[in-house]
């Protein structure tokens, strides 16, 4: 057995970029997590939209165990069957014809930007390198990703930033034709902004981006790192927006808890990435791909995706009930099993206190944008756990009410 550690050791040994909750999770099954004191938590967070099929799903456990007895790692000098099988699944179920595997979402975004710039460089002209991104975006934490995010809180102290990035207000049609122009290599967009609080792109906005990109031969990169893998009720969110990405970034839920990212694109675009022009030691790791293959096989089932929409309704109606009682939410937003409840600050509801209260009562939720409760449970969470979790949330919110 390894040496014992406690929560206080976090501050001693870890770089202080995180401030984890006081309890320490020990084990989990489905949508239940147990901490070191054997206290139970209902999981409405799924590790920030990662454990898409819950914790320790038996079929994923089996896929991991089986692969772990075969081969753990292969360099990209060798053909890797689990990666190849996974790529085939992506190509069968999406617009894609070619796949590149990374380890994380931010790396998928990096690879997507490199691909788009290389495409313009080779096929159009060497000066066409601008990337258009949007306000309140979240694309990860690498230098390029924080530059795309654009907000000061991600950037401060890390400059100089990579250049050639332009920002435009999300969902703002005005002047979009000035932002997207002949110099644009690509537009990178989350069709539903997760970290911003589950904000959907408006159809007219997406259509205008599509038109301008076509006019200027710019590529559309859709970042589905959080919105993908069935989260919004379709396998990928783009299916609901009348748009076909040129390049798509995936991660989080496609691995169900195993680190993996992927860049999906067409053959024509992929061809600009010649031998040796990009790579990753661990990208396409056989253990990760064997698990993701099973995740994707299960996620592509119609019944599962229909279940996401049904469970969304259950959540929305429960949240509306809570709101009717306490007027705690300014807005309830949802896109499949991805919900954002913007707190009514006028009524003095505080996000951190609610979150702590939920932990105390045995419920794990998420935050978004410092004013929104974000809910992103497993896509197969049982209805009875949804109702039980909402009951906890209700009582925590009730506990926040000031005596009149
Ligand atoms: C839309 C989006 N893109 C990219 C990322 C970065 O992914 P990762 O943390 O795996 O690098 C995230 C993470 O939250 C995300 O939500």
Q: Is the pLDDT score of 244 beyond 90? A: yes
The atom number, within ligand 1, closest to the CA of 252 reads: 10
Give percent above pLDDT 70 in the chain: 99
3-state secondary structure of 187: strand
DSSP letter, residue 401: P
Phi–psi pair at 109, nearest 5 degrees: -65, -45
Best residue among 198, 226, 228, 280 to mutate for probing ligand 1, ranked by most atoms within 8 Å of CB: 226
Which CATH architecture is the domain 8-56+304-400 placed in? Alpha-Beta Complex (3.90)
Pairing of strands 130-134, 165-168: parallel
HEC string of 149-161 equals HCCHHHHCCCCCC
**Predicted local distance difference test score (pLDDT) of residue 292:** 98
To which residue do tokens 């406690």 refer?
6
Residues of the chain with CATH 3.90.1150.10: 8-56+304-400
Q: Whose CA is nearest to atom 16 of ligand 1?
A: 226
Instruction: For residue 380, report the distance from its CA to the centre of ligand 1, in Å.
Output: 22
Contact call for residues 295 and 82 (beta carbons, < 8 A): no
Q: Count the helices and strands in the chain (H runs, E runs).
A: 14, 17
Q: Whose CA is nearest to atom 6 of ligand 1?
A: 140
Residues of the chain with CATH 3.40.640.10: 71-299
Q: Is the pLDDT score of 160 beyond 70? A: yes
Q: Which CATH class is domain 71-299?
A: alpha beta
3-state secondary structure of 216: coil
pLDDT, tens only, 193-214: 999 999 999 999 999 999 999 9
Instruction: For residue 108, report the distance from its CA to the centre of ligand 1, in Å.
Output: 9
pLDDT, tens only, 30-47: 999 999 999 999 999 999
The atom number, within ligand 1, closest to the CA of 140 reads: 6
Q: Which residues of 101-129 are buried (b: 16+ CB within 10 A; e: fewer)?
A: bbbbbbbbbbbbbbbbbbbbeeeeeeebb
- CB distance 109 to ligand 1 below 6 Å: yes
């Amino acid at each position: 057995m390894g040496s014992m550690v406690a929560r206080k050791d976090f501050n001693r040994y870890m770089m202080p970029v995180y401030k984890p909750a006081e309890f320490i999770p020990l084990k989990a099954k489905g949508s239940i997590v147990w901490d070191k004191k054997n206290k139970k938590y209902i999981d409405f967070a799924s590790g920030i939209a990662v454990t898409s099929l819950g914790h320790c799903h038996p079929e994923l456990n089996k896929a991991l165990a089986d692969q772990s007895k075969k081969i753990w790692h292969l360099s990209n000098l060798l053909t890797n069957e689990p990666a190849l099988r996974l790529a085939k699944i992506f190509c069968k179920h999406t617009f894609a014809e070619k796949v590149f595997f990374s380890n994380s979402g931010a790396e998928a975004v990096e690879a997507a930007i490199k691909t788009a710039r290389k495409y313009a460089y080779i096929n159009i002209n060497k000066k066409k390198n601008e990337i258009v991104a949007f306000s309140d975006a979240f694309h990860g934490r690498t230098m390029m990703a924080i530059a795309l995010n654009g907000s000061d809180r991600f950037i401060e102290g890390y400059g100089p930033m990579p250049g050639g990035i332009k920002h435009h207000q999300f969902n703002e049609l005005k002047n979009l034709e000035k932002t997207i122009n002949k110099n644009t290599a690509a537009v990178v967009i989350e069709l539903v902004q997760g970290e911003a609080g589950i904000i959907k792109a408006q159809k007219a906005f997406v259509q205008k981006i599509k038109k301008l990109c076509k006019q200027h031969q710019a590529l559309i990169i859709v970042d589905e790192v959080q919105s993908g893998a069935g989260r919004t009720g379709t396998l990928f969110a783009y299916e609901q927006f009348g748009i076909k990405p040129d390049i798509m970034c995936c991660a989080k839920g496609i691995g169900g808890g195993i680190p993996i990212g992927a860049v999906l694109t067409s053959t024509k675009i992929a061809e600009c990435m010649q031998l040796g022009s990009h790579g990753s030691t661990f990208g396409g790791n056989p253990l990760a791909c064997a698990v993701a293959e099973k995740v994707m096989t299960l996620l592509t089932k119609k019944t599962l995706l229909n279940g996401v929409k049904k469970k969304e309704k259950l959540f929305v109606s429960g949240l509306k009930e809570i709101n009717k009682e306490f007027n705690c939410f300014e807005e309830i937003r949802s896109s499949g099993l991805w919900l954002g409840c913007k707190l009514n600050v006028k009524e003095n509801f505080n996000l951190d206190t609610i979150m702590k209260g939920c932990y105390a009562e045995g419920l794990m939720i998420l935050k978004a944008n410092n004013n929104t409760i974000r809910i992103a449970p497993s896509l197969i969470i049982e209805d009875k756990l949804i109702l039980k979790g909402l009951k906890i949330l209700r009582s925590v919110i009730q506990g926040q009410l000031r005596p009149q």
